[in-house]
A and B are shown apart, each in its own frame.
Chain A
Amino acid sequence: MLYDLPFLAAALLMVIGIATMLLRRNLIKVVMGLSLVEAGVNLLLVALGYRGGGIAPIFTNAPQDLMVLPTVQAMTLTNIVIGIATTALMLSFVMVIYRRYGTADADAVRRLRG
């Protein structure tokens, strides 16, 4: 049960994130929801690589054989970097939209129709 907790937390984070994206009308909050989904995926990745009692996978100082899996940590790191880039891009979009339209409300920002 204890080992399942991170997986449940990851799923919960993703659900909260998607719900935020769907229910909140403020564009900044939509971006925040997306960041929550990303955090959920990151947590899932790191949790996958965990081994009970394992140590950090630093090669030269290993006192024992049991290490957590470094591949998923590398993947998580890559995803964090990508996440920073996308979040920055989307926030600057929201900023431009706010300056052009005078609002960041998703209901008001709807000039593209049809």
Chain B
Amino acid sequence: MTMSKIVRTAAGWLFPFILVFGFYIVMHGHLTPGGGFQGGAVIATGFVLLIVAGSYGDISRRITKASLSGGETLGLLLFIVTAITGLALGGTFFANWLADGGLIFGNPVLFGANPGDLNTAGVIPIMNLAVGVEVLGALSVIVLYMLSGIAEEGA
């Protein structure tokens, strides 16, 4: 079952924008509403759009379950390694060892009304990124697996 060419082309055009918007939500998680889970879910809906527009066979050739679940595992590992680094650097598990350090995401938080500085909050953006990658992998894998079940039945 495939959709018309209009739908497929439009989905192809929309997909990069959804991707960018999803990563925007992930990376601004420490400043605005949103974060890893929400952004990851938005990106996963992008994949769902591609799947709905194209056929299951096309999509599963381009985006394999193995690469998605690999991304999921990497996200989880990034999360836990970030947490353990806090432990290794002499703080506690999950300690924010990057905050106010002057390195990446290391600016001190400004007080008063300001538009927000992306380069703050220490490990929180990193954890958001890890969660985002994990969620986008996991949700897409779930959708792919469910579709593969339906595809087997329909064929």
Contact = CB atoms under 8 A, between A and B. Distances in A.
Interface string B86-118: 000000000000000000000001101111100
Interface residues of B, number: 17
A3 B146 CA distance: 42
Contacts, number: 33
B153 A60 contact: no
Contacts of A92: 142, 145-146, 149
SS class of chain A's interface: helix, strand, loop or mixed? helix
A96 B110 CA distance: 53
A99 B114 contact: no
A60 B149 contact: no
Contact of B32 (A58, A88, A91): A58
B154 interface: no
Contact of A77 (B37, B116, B149): B37
Interface of A: 56, 58-63, 77, 80-81, 84, 88, 91-92, 95-96, 99
Interface of B: 31-33, 37, 109-110, 112-116, 139, 142, 145-146, 149, 153
